[in-house]
Amino acid sequence: MFTNPDEVSKYLKDEGVKFVDVRFCDLPGVMQHFTVPAETVDARFFTEGCMFDGSSIRGFQAIHESDMQLVPDVTSARLDPFRREKTLNINFFIHDPLTGEQYSRDPRNVAKKAEAYLKGTGVADTAYFGPEAEFYVFDDVRFETKVNGGMYHIDSEAGWWNTGREEPGGNQGYKVRYKGGYFPVPPVDHFADLRDEMVIALQGVGLEVERAHHEVGTAGQAEINYKFNTLLAAADDIMLFKYVIKNVAWAHGKTATFMPKPLFGDNGSGMHCHQSLWKDGSPLFYEEIGYAGLSDLARYYIGGLLRHAPSLLAFTNPTVNSYHRLVPGFEAPVNLVYSQRNRSACIRIPITGSNPKAKRIEFRVPDPSSNPYLAFSAMLMAGLDGIKNKIEPLAPVDKDLYELPPDEHAAVPQ
**What residues form the annotated binding site for Mg(2+)?**
132, 134, 215, 223, 272, 362
Type of residue at 225: N
165 is catalytic: no
53 is catalytic: yes
392 is catalytic: no
* Size of the chain, expressed as the number of residues it contains: 414
Catalytic residue among 42, 53, 101, 208: 53
Q: Sign of the C-alpha dihedral, residues 234, 239, 240, 244?
A: positive
Do 307 and 412 meet the contact criterion of CB atoms below 8 Å apart? no
Catalytic residue among 132, 157, 236, 266: 132
Catalytic residue among 83, 105, 343, 409: 343
Neighbouring-strand partners of residue 79: 88
Residue (of 323, 298, 313) closest to 387 by Cα position = 298
Catalytic residue among 73, 80, 115, 134: 134
Dihedrals φ, ψ of 159, to 5°? Answer: -65, 135
Euclidean distance between CA atoms 256 and 235, whole angstroms: 19
Q: Give 117's contacts (C-beta < 8 A, 6+ positions apart).
A: 381, 384
Euclidean distance between CA atoms 258 and 367, whole angstroms: 8
Dihedrals φ, ψ of 375, to 5°? Answer: -65, -45
364 is catalytic: yes
134 is catalytic: yes
The DSSP secondary structure of 102-140, one letter per residue, reads: BPTT-HHHHHHHHHHHHHHHSS-SEEEEEEEEEEEEESE
Q: Which residues are annotated as a binding site?
A: 132, 134, 210, 215, 223, 226-228, 267-268, 272, 274-276, 325, 331, 343, 357, 362, 364
Q: Which residues are annotated as a binding site for ATP?
A: 210, 226-228, 274-276, 343, 357
C-alpha 206: how far from chain center:
16
Catalytic residue among 223, 237, 266, 367: 223
The DSSP secondary structure of 2-62, one letter per residue, reads: -SSHHHHHHHHHHTT--EEEEEEE-TTS-EEEEEEEGGG--HHHHHH-EEEEGGGSTTS--
Catalytic residue among 115, 215, 236, 367: 215
Do 68 and 60 meet the contact criterion of CB atoms below 8 Å apart? yes
287 is catalytic: no
Euclidean distance between CA atoms 243 and 237, whole angstroms: 10
Helices (H) and strands (E) in the chain, counts: 9, 18
Name the helix (H) or strand (E) containing 378.
Answer: helix 372-388
Residue (of 362, 339, 358) closest to 292 by Cα position = 339
Q: Give 64's contacts (C-beta < 8 A, 6+ positions apart).
A: none
343 is catalytic: yes
Residue (of 250, 141, 155) closest to 197 by Cα position = 250
Return the exposure string of 236-247: e unless at least 16 CB atoms fall within 10 Å of the residue's CB, then b.
Answer: bbbbbbbbbbbb
Euclidean distance between CA atoms 325 and 269, whole angstroms: 8
Q: Which residues are catalytic?
A: 53, 132, 134, 215, 223, 272, 343, 362, 364
